[in-house]
Amino acid sequence: MAEPVLETSGLTKRFGGIVATGDVSLSVAPGEIHAVIGPNGAGKTTLISELSGELKPDAGSIRFAGADISRFGPVRRAALGIARAFQVTSIFREFTALENVALAVQARAGHSFRFWRPAEREAQLREPARAMLRDVGLGERADLPAGSLSHGEKRALELAMVLATGPRLLLLDEPTAGMGAEESAAMVRLLAGLKSRFSVVLVEHDMDAVFALADRITVMVYGRVIASGAPEAIRADPEVRRAYLGDEEPGC
């Protein structure tokens, strides 16, 4: 197997008495979609925050692209190409969709101590942003305020922003959260289209989405990894079935 792009070992984060992530070790190969599943409160979002640098783990280490990034903050990790989409959509509601993505492009276009030229006239920010919006199917919505988009469109917009930073690793926290069946299917198609171009850590509750997309699956319960492996193996794992997938429907 190729050298993993992301590798964690022993990631532990406690909130008071709660072990949100306990000794989590996982690795993501280049171009792989690695799904993390588990019931509510299993520690999936906490894990994503530790990977993005927003939360500091109490113990454990993180290697990314061969370097130890355990001590890096979120800004440095983003600069290295780790990009996060939040479980609760995080966009600039007052900006237009295009301005949202253009700002994401700006994040990777050198420093922002530029005081004179209007950003709205900078083709080098606007053009890639426009293209990215088209890629996620929001080409027609570019000039609308982000706050006025539908829920599914907002989530697609956040994905466009994340992609516009030119990432190597995507941290996607329930991209289909709160979506109806149709929106959900559209998001899955979108993510399937990204496959192999990026490495992805995908937290997801929708099992159809998980099994459609994932190359590997890690199952967390109460902060611990109880299983990790190929989708077929996870589907068949009796402990996973009992803890999470639900015993009562054999054969899925």
Shorter beta-carbon distance to other proteins: residue 40 or 117? 117
- # of chain residues touching ligand ATP (CB under 6 A): 12
Question: Binding mask 10-29 vs ligand ATP (x if CB under 6 A, - otherwise)?
Answer: -----x--x-x---------
Cross-strand partners of 75: none
Identify the residue among 26, 33, 42, 191 touching ligand ATP (CB under 6 A): 42
Write down the least CB distance from residue 34 to ligand ATP, Å.
15
Q: What is the rounded radius of gyration, in angstroms, for the C-alpha atoms of the chain?
A: 19
- b/e sequence 149-164, b meaning 16+ C-beta within 10 Å: beebbbbbbbbbbbbb
Question: Binding mask 72-101 vs Mg ion (x if CB under 5 A, - otherwise)?
Answer: ---------------x--------------
Q: Rounded to an integer, what distance in angstroms lies between the CA atom of residue 90 and that of residue 199? A: 21
Cross-strand partners of 198: 195
107 HSE (CA, 13 A, CB side): 24
Write down the least CB distance from residue 52 to ligand ATP, Å.
13
Identify the residue among 32, 33, 37, 38 touching ligand ATP (CB under 6 A): 38
Question: Nearest residue by C-beta to Mg ion?
Answer: 45
**DSSP-derived secondary structure for 127-195:** HHHHHHHHHTT-GGGTTSBGGGS-HHHHHHHHHHHHHHT--SEEEEE-TTTT--HHHHHHHHHHHHHHB
Please give the residue ranges that form the binding site for other proteins (CB under 8 A): 52, 54, 74-75, 78-79, 83-84, 86, 90-95, 99, 102-104, 106-108, 112-120, 122, 125, 161, 165
Residue numbers at the binding site for ligand ATP (CB under 6 A): 15, 18, 20, 38, 40-46, 87
